[in-house]
Structures are given as C-alpha cells and as structure tokens.
Structure 1
Amino acid sequence: MKKYIETIKNLFVVILITSVVASCTKDLNIVPEDDQTVLSDAFFGSEDAYLEVLAGVYANFSLTGVDGPGSSNIEGLDAGTSQYGRVLLYLQTLSADQMIWSYENDPGTREIQRNLWTAQNPLIVGMFSRAMVTVSFANNFLRETTTEKLDARKVSDATRTNIVTFRAEARLLRAMAYYHMMDLFGKAPMVLETDPTVKFFPPQASRAELFTFIESELNAIEGDLAAPRTNNHGRADKAVAWTILAKMYLNANVYIGEDKNTECLTYTKKIISSGFSLADDYAHLFMADNNTNSATKEIIFPLISDGLITQNYGPTTVIINGQVGSLEENGAALGVGAGGWGGALRVRKQFVQLFDGGIFANDSRNTIISGTRDIEISDISDKDQGFVIEKYSNATSTGSFGSDQTFVDTDFPLFRLADVYLMYAEAHVRGGAGGSDSDMEAYVNSLRTRANNPQNNLTAADITLDFILDERARELHWEAHRRQDLIRFGKFTGGNYNWTWKGNASNGIALPATMDVYPIPASSLASNPNLTQNEGY
C-alpha cells in the first residue's frame, strides 16, 4: 500500500488541509467550506508537526477535502472540478488534439474540449483556485517557520536543520503553482508569506514578473533542497526545481519574448547527469506500482495516488476508469471495474494518425484499440465512435492489481526523464548553445529503443522540429503537456493546424490568438480589484 508521504501514516494530512485553508485563504479571497481555527502554538508542541504541515502543502496536489473523495474544501467547487492534477490534465490535454470526453454534461468539459470556454467555466475556476490554495498553504508553512517562531517555541537544532529543507520545498511548491498560473493564465495574484493575511488584495503579477519571481525563487533555494533522487517518494528535490526551470526556458519565447534555449540545455544537462535513467519498460511508468518498479529511475516528480489513503478523482483515476471502452469493457485487465466509466474517454483522429505506419505497429507507446470502431467522431456523445487507448493501468508490474477497483494506486508522472531528453533535443535544434548532435541522437534513439521501435537509429538530420513535436505526442500523451507544446510551436490557436472539434467544428477551425491563455475567473475578478481580465474575454 502506497503512503502519501512515507512519514505520514494516517489521515491527519487530510484534516490538516482544512485547518490550513482557514488560516490563509482570506488573502486569496477563497472561502473554505469548513472554517477551522488557525493552527495554534500548542499544535507545534511536537516537532513532528512541521513535517506534517509540509505534508499538507503536498497533499493539496492530490486531495480536495476531508469527507472523502467527493468532498471539497473550497466553497462553490466540487472535487471533480478542483482536483489539481485533474484540472491540469483537462486544461492542457482535453483542450487539444489527443483526448475527448463523452459525457459533456459534466461541468465545464464541453466548453474545454470544444474550445468554447468563458471566465465562468468551473474547470478554469478550479485550476486557478487550487493553484492559489497551494500558494496559500506554502505561505502558511513559511509563516510558521520563521526564526522568531522557532526561537519562541525552542525548536531543537536538529529540527531546525530539517526545516531549512522543508522551507525550500514549500517555496518550490509555491513556485510550481505559479509556474502553472503563468503558463495557463499569463498572470496571477502575487502573495508572499510576508503579506498581510486579512484586508489585503494581492497585486497582479504579469507573465514577465511571474517568470522573474519563479526563476529567482528556484535559484535561491537550490542549495537547500535535497540532492536528486535522495528525498522520500513524492517529495521534491533539486531535480524538480531544475525541471521547472528547463520548461520555463524552453517556453520563454511564449512567456517573455526571449530565446532561452541555451539556458534550457544547461538545466536539462544537469538533470540528465544527476542519476536518472529510463524505466526498463514504458508501461511501468503508468502502472499501480510506479512508486516501486523501474519507473522510479525515470520519474522526477509524481502526483501521488493511493486507492485507500488518498482516494480522489484525480488524473489517473479519471484516465484509467475513463479509458475503458464502451464496446470493449476492458476494465478488468486495467485493474478497475469491467465496465469502468462506460466509455468516458477516447482519442481524436489526429493523435491516432501519429502512429500510422509499420514502424509503430509494435511500438509499446501505441496502446490504441481500434477494433470495429470508426476513427471519426461525428457525435461526441456516441461512446462507440473513435478509438480508445490503454496507456494507464491500475495493474502492477508483478501481475497484481491496485488496492481499490475505482480509486487507483497509479501516480501521475508530472515530470520524467523522457520529457527532459526531448526538451534537450528541441532546445538544441532551436539553436541553444551547449548541446551536441551525438547526445541528441542518443537520447531520442534511447526512447525509440525502449519503445521497441525499429527506427531507433535516427540522425540529427531526422530530428527536426516537426519530428520532435510528433514524438513528444507519442511519448508524452495524456501527461498534461500537449496544449503547452502546441502553443510553443504556433499550432494551438490560428488555423495552421486543426483537429477534430477544435473551435466546436467537427473538422476543426481556427482559434483566436487570445485563447493561448485562459481567462481569469470572473469570481476572482469580482473579489480582487487588482486583477484584470485577459484580452479577448
């Protein structure tokens, strides 16, 4: 059985979320469902409490409330529209050309997958709010671990040494939440631990200001983070900070109008040389024991899922139950109910076509099931149209299954080495200094070899930008990257590339460039006069 954090052996982490929310959401204008009192000094009578409070910051990436998987500690948002990994997956993947959701009466999904969203969309509200709750939790931890408070509580030197690392992790998680805000919304309310907790309207930070803040934070804390691959499962280390920086630099032309491919190469090389290696089997990365099988060599940072302790409607529970086909009823092999969620998820034609050709017939990344299905999806509500896939599983690499047949044990691999290899390749092809053709070829071909693809002797001439974009889709589909990738390549908005149901047209139509960012939620605008709406909304 998987624990959320190895040192937390009970559900205290869940209770903690509610109490922490109350102490710091007023400065974000987010109202908790259960307004508990602020954590008291008595709570910190045990020095173990500091790790437990840090666990609450991490837990916000998996949990939504204290009363089971369907509960939410944010007023007005249910668990399905505010679980961090799930809404991140929807905004990055469901909005693009890889995934489609059958049940369009589910709040917000129709508008996201047809690119019709507005500032009232509950999934957009959920992402904005959940990211800012992470900021809030991190700020609360930092407020409770100042030198003055530690002195007053007579905290031991040994615990103070650990708290240095804990504070760095809290700042990293806050920076990661702001990274997602920068990418998805282009702006965010900026709140630090030194700001007032009441009667305070956070100022708005622009994309450039967020970029500078995140970059400076991650550089400042690097020396205090654990070395790569030395922290407990599910906790951040230096490599997580480096990965966020590498992804920021790769997308810097989008974010700040500057080329930072050289910086991207610098950080990808740091990650590659820090002890990670590819999982032995591609499938291991997406199985119920990906916290213990060969995937641990490759996954840089996961979002934790546990069928018993951290039950939630997160990305892997949604994907695994959703990818059970309406015709196939293949859930038993995936470790969930035989019928799963009745054909909730399918793939769009354009994704299927990336695996056309003989070299992909036995590629282990090609888990597409066609059967008697039609590749076209003319009616989204018809679950029998469109192909399905079996990328994720609640089965283990040793032949057993997860601890529950609905809520899966499969962690979501937010960052992993294969992505870093492909970032290296792209930054090198885009002209970044410090890379080499031979290293790029070795990294890309290692992915092909691991996938049992016979075309695993590619040369630098083969590895073009178009190839990289397609290979990223083949390697990283349904991992919350696709929207960002298409934007970076100039193919998300506009009409250079259309896909099934893009812009609410069955064959796809152009989108305005303003849709490269999501709108600021109307509720957030109403509660904070310092926020302004993005252009076009």
Structure 2
Amino acid sequence: MIRKIKHLTVVCLGAAILGNTGCSKLIEIKPPLNETSAALVFQSDATARAALSGMYNTFSQSATQNTSLTVNNTLLADDVVYLGANTSARELAANSYTVLSTISTDPFNTWYNIIYQANAIIIGMQNNTAISAQTNRQLTAEAKLMRAYCYFSLVNIFGDIPLVLTTDATISAYQPKETAANVYQQIIRDLTDAKANLLDNYAVTGQDRIGVNRFTAAALLARVYLFTGRYAEAASNASEVIASNLYSLTPQANIGTALFVKNSAESIWQLPPPINPTFQYTNEAGAFIPTSYTQDNIFYRIRPEFTQLFASTDLRRTRWMNDAIINGATYSVPFKYKYRTQALAVAAGVTEYQVILRLAEQYLIRAEARARLGTDLAGALSDLNTIRTRAGAVTTNTSVQAALLDEIALENRKEFFCEQAFRWNNLRRTGQADAVLNALKSTYRPTSKLFPIPQVALDTNPNLTQTPGY
C-alpha cells in the first residue's frame, strides 16, 4: 500500500454520492510527480469530499462488489448448478479451490484497497481544523461504515486477516493476522461510531438511496451482532430500522417489479450500475440471465430441489425465477433483476440498482434473534409471517423454538437466494455447510468454508500465514 493518494479525480458517480445534480468537471491536483499528499487533500471540504467520492467510485466499479459478491457466493452454496465452462466458476461451484487458484486475489485486493482509502479519510479528518465540523463528522462516519463493510466481507471470506487501520506502508505491509473475533470487534466499533454520527435520512445524496445514513449503520450492526451471537443487540438494531418509517416492504402485488429498482421503498442501501451511473441495468442480471433460453446458453440453473421448496402460492418462485422448458426439463434461472443489457432496461423504462441492504433482512434478523433468545417466540413468529405474507406463502404457527429457527433459516434461503452472499454466509454461520454441501459436491471439504490467502500477499508479507488447511 502506498502512502499518497494518486491523481484524485471526481467522476459523475462522485457527484451523485455528494448530492450534486450534475457531473463535475474533473478536479486534478498536480504537485510534482502527479501525486497529492494526504496533507493537501484534506485541506478543504471540497477536496476531502473528493477523497470520499474516490472511495465510493472504487467500491461501485469493483467487480468484487457489483458482480462477484453475488455470483461467486451463489456458486459456493447450494442454490444453483453451474453449467458453463469457465474454469474459475467451476472451481467455485465445486468448492475445489486451492492455493494455486486465483479466485481469492480480487476480493483480497479490492477490499483492502477500499479499506486503504477509508483509512486515509479517517486519519485525514483527525484533529483537522481545515474541514468544517459537519463535513468532518459526516465523512469520518461514512468512511468507518465502508471500512466495516469491507472487513465484514473479508472476515467471512478468509477468517483471520490483517486488521489494517493505518496508511503507513511500513506498518501495513508487515502486519500479521488478527483473529476474526477481534476483527468483528473493530467492525462493531466502526459501525457504532458511524451510527452515532450519520444523518437519519438521505439528504446528503438528494434522497437517493445510494447514500448511507444512521439506519444503514444500524442494519449492518444488526447483521454483525447476529453473526457474533449478540442476539439482543441484533434485535434492537433491527427494530430501529423497522421502526424508522423510512422503509417499507414492497407490496405483494409489486414484488416482481418494484423491489430491485432505483430508490425502492424497501432498499436501505443501493449501488448504481458500475462504469456509468446513468445506466439502468445491473451486472448481476447480465451474469445470471442467459442471452437466450437454450441449453447451451443457460449457465446458472437453480437446483430443481430448491424450486420445489416453494409453495404454489409463493410469488418468489414465479416472480424471481424465470423458467424454460428444454427437452422436457424445467430450467429455472435467477430473475430478481430483469434486464441484462442497457438497451433492454431503456426499452422497458426501468432503472435497476444493486440492492446491498433491504428491509426484509431486518425482519428475519429480528425473528432469528428473538427465537434464539427464547424470550419472545411470538414476536419471532410475527416477523417470520410478515415476510411470508408479503411473498404470498402460507403462514406458520410454529411455537417450538427449534422448529421456529428451522423455519426462519428456510425463509432466509427463499427470500435471499442468488442475492449477495446470504446463503453461503448463513450455511457457514449456522454450522450447516459441511452437512449440506458434502451431500451435494464430492469435491467439497471442510476447509472450503474459507478461501486461501493469495500467494502474492504471502510472498510480500513474511508475517502473513496461509489459511488453515491450504
């Protein structure tokens, strides 16, 4: 990692993130060697905001976030069968990656690159009287939320990892691993601080939900507390989001058309399309939806065993999957996002954004947290049935704790199939990965739950050790 911020540029996405209405003229700061020291970058509100824009720009244009987080993690789990010929995709689908695989390089490099940018902002804001207090507070909080999000992704991919909180390459280049538990503690500290300092609306981004606010931090905190077994805190943060009145579940009648679109009422945090923020389609749709519904062009087939788990009235089966009958067999593909090209989205007059966080998760987080605590099974059941009712599925009256937890886990799978890393992370988190995947994949092994550290990282950092089992 370098210690200077290269040739800082504000692009259209940066303008959108900052709530500006147009695309700013490129801002270039050109001291000798085209490098700008952090001291110069953080000498005005405008240049500090430009640094934040650069961080978001890296995030939104990263294939790790806008494509791989969903596609790769879907392959790792059990919701789809991969029918294509791509070598890396086949390794992921078979959970057969090794130290010779390259699949871990992009997430490792991407998340640490964004963390570096977040660290630069956080450090640049410290004791900085050149920046207005309001801007300082907002930028620091947004950078901490982003750092927490990246570390959550890293710790769920690699387990123990270096916890880098500096921009000093003489330190970061030689940091050993920190335990996953300690990384989670830093995630919680960052999100707690962000929650305390962010606005409770989307004013910074002109009400567009590509921005983050206090409830974005609370939603992430609810997820992190669930993953770390702190169920009371998980339920509390989820309740804050649910009670905020900023969000509402997409009505049942519109579940197929109004949920994964720009500024949907259910979205807590969205991401505009990469490369060009004026585009109207997502990379996820481009990956999952075939160019034509023929056997040679369908690469991601939802497992028939999974489709059979949905009740006949469940709209998620008919609105979030698309079917083709080929040689008498039904091939279902993910269809949450509907338009695989810009031309198709424009023709339909629809703008789809990748959804990072949405309200349905908060109901299911609170349902599981309440069920695990065992003190409010009625509340857990109510939350579960809220999601089932919206989907058109049959409600349940399960009152036994173990059975209720099973029902909630199944509902999580149905609600979030082929979406971000939900199914893969939940299999790992709940200790079900070995039993479920061993039964489906002959090449699966327990060490497959984590990726190997990229060899190039090991070669450059003598204090870094390989993931156990590799």
User: TM over 0.5, yes or no?
Assistant: yes
What is the 5 A alignment of 1:105-116?
Answer: 105=86, 108-116=88-96
Tell me if structure 2 keeps the 8 A contact 1:102–1:343: yes
For 2:273, the equivalent position in structure 1 comes to 305
Taking the aligned partners of 1:468 and 1:199, their CA distance within structure 2 comes to: 41
Q: Does 1:345 align with 2:300?
A: yes
Query: Does the CA contact (< 8 Å) of 1:307 and 1:402 recur in 2?
Result: no
Match of 1:68 in 2: none
Match runs of 1:286-435 below 5 Å: 286-287=259-260, 290-292=261-263, 295=264, 297-305=265-273, 308-309=276-277, 316-324=282-290, 326-327=292-293, 342-355=297-310, 357-360=311-314, 365-372=319-326, 386-394=331-339, 402-403=345-346, 409-431=351-373, 433=375
Q: CA deviation at 1:393?
A: 1.6
Specify the SS of the correspondent of 1:48. helix
Give 1:214's aligned residue: 187
1:278 to 229, 233, 249: 249
Contact 1:242 1:267 in 2 (8 A): yes
Q: Residues 137 and 307 of structure 1: is their aligned pair in 2 closer, same or farther, counting only changes over 3 Å?
A: closer
Counterpart code for 1:95: L
Aligned partners of 1:373, 1:391: CA distance in 2, in Å?
A: 25
| d(CA) in 2 for partners of 1:361, 1:291 | 21
- Quickly say closer, same or farther: Cα 1:38–1:239, change in 2 above 3 A: same
Equivalent in the alignment of 2:212: 236
Partners of 1:410 and 1:122 lie apart in 2 by: 30
Q: Distance in 1 between matches of 2:426 and 2:123?
A: 36
1:30 matched residue in structure 2: none
Code of the residue aligned with 2:141 in structure 1: it is A
Shift in Å, 1:524: 1.1
Structure 1 window deviating more from structure 2 (461-470 vs 125-134): it is 461-470
Deviations 1:261-296 (A, max 9, x none): 222212222221122211232224554xx223xx2x
Counterpart Cα distance in 1 of 2:45 and 2:138? 15
Q: 1:250 to 1:91 in 2, by over 3 A?
A: farther
CA distance in 1, matches of 2:287, 2:77: 21
> How do residues 492-511 of structure 1 correspond to structure 2 at under 5 angstroms?
492-493=433-434, 495-496=435-436, 498=438, 500=440, 502-504=441-443, 511=444
Q: 1:93 to 1:199 in 2, by over 3 A?
A: closer
1:302-358: per-residue Cα shift (whole Å, max 9, x none)? 22216743779x9x32434532364369xxxxxxxxxxx943332123322222x43
Deviation at 1:404, TM superposition (A): 8.8
Contact 1:61 1:303 in 2 (8 A): no
Q: CA deviation at 1:477?
A: 1.0
Residues 437 and 230 (structure 1), Cα distance of their counterparts in 2 relative to 1, 3 Å cut: farther
What does the per-residue CA deviation read over 1:80-108, in whole Å, with 9 as the maximum and x for residues that have no partner? xx5323222234221111134443325x2
How many angstroms apart in 2 are the aligned matches of 1:219 and 1:95? 31
SS of 1:49's partner is helix
TM-score (norm 2): 0.82
Give the AA of the match of 1:327: Y
Q: Deviation per CA, 1:116-169, whole angstroms, max 9, x where unpaired?
A: 112343331111111111101111222333334x44xxx4xxx33122111111
Moved over 6 A (4+): none
Which runs of 5 or more residues in structure 2 are unaligned?
A: 1-11
**Larger mean Cα displacement after TM superposition, 83-92 or 169-178:** 83-92
In the alignment, is the contact (CA less than 8 A) between 2:259 and 2:266 conserved in 1? no
Please report how far the alpha carbon of residue 39 of structure 1 lies from its aligned counterpart in structure 2 after TM superposition: 4.9
Look up the match of 1:446.
386
One-letter amino acid of the counterpart of residue 52, structure 1: A
**Which one of 428, 438, 445 corresponds to residue 487 of structure 1?**
428
Map of 1:164-179 to 2, 5 A cutoff?
164-179=137-152
Deviations 1:13-70 (A, max 9, x none): 8x99xx9xxxxxxxxxxxxxxx962357666676322222212112222214xxxxxx
Deviation at 1:197, TM superposition (A): 6.0
CA distance in 1, matches of 2:439, 2:155: 25
More helix per residue? 2
Cα distance in 1 between the residues matched to 2:378 and 2:109: 44
- Would the alpha carbon gap of residues 139 and 243 (structure 1) be closer, same or farther in structure 2, given more than 3 Å must change? same
CA RMSD of aligned residues (A): 3.6
The alignment partner of 1:123 has SS state of coil
C-alpha contact (below 8 Å) 2:307/2:317 kept by paired residues = no
| Conserved? CA contact 1:323–1:346, under 8 Å | no
Partner of 1:58: 56
Matched letter for residue 309 of structure 2: L
Q: What is the TM-score when the length of structure 1 is the normalising length?
A: 0.73
Question: Structure 2: how far apart are the matches of 1:53 and 1:273?
Answer: 33
The change in CA–CA distance for 1:443 and 1:198 in structure 2 (over 3 A counts) is: closer
How far residue 415 of structure 1 moved from its aligned partner, in angstroms, is 1.2
SS in 1 for 2:383: helix
> Aligned to 1:525, which of 450, 458, 461?
458
CA distance in 2, matches of 1:487, 1:365: 28
Cα deviation per residue 1:439-479 (whole Å; 9 max; x = unaligned)?
333322222232233x1464545962222222112111111
Task: Compute the displacement of 1:224 (Å).
Answer: 0.9
2:7 counterpart residue number: none
Select which of 90, 95, 99 maps to 2:80: 99
Provide Cα deviations, 1:191-248, integer angstroms capped at 9, x if missing partner.
2236456784233211011011111222233221111555522122222222222222
Equivalent residue of 1:187, what SS?
Answer: coil
SS in structure 2 at match of 1:388: strand
Opposite residue 221 of structure 2, the aligned amino acid is L
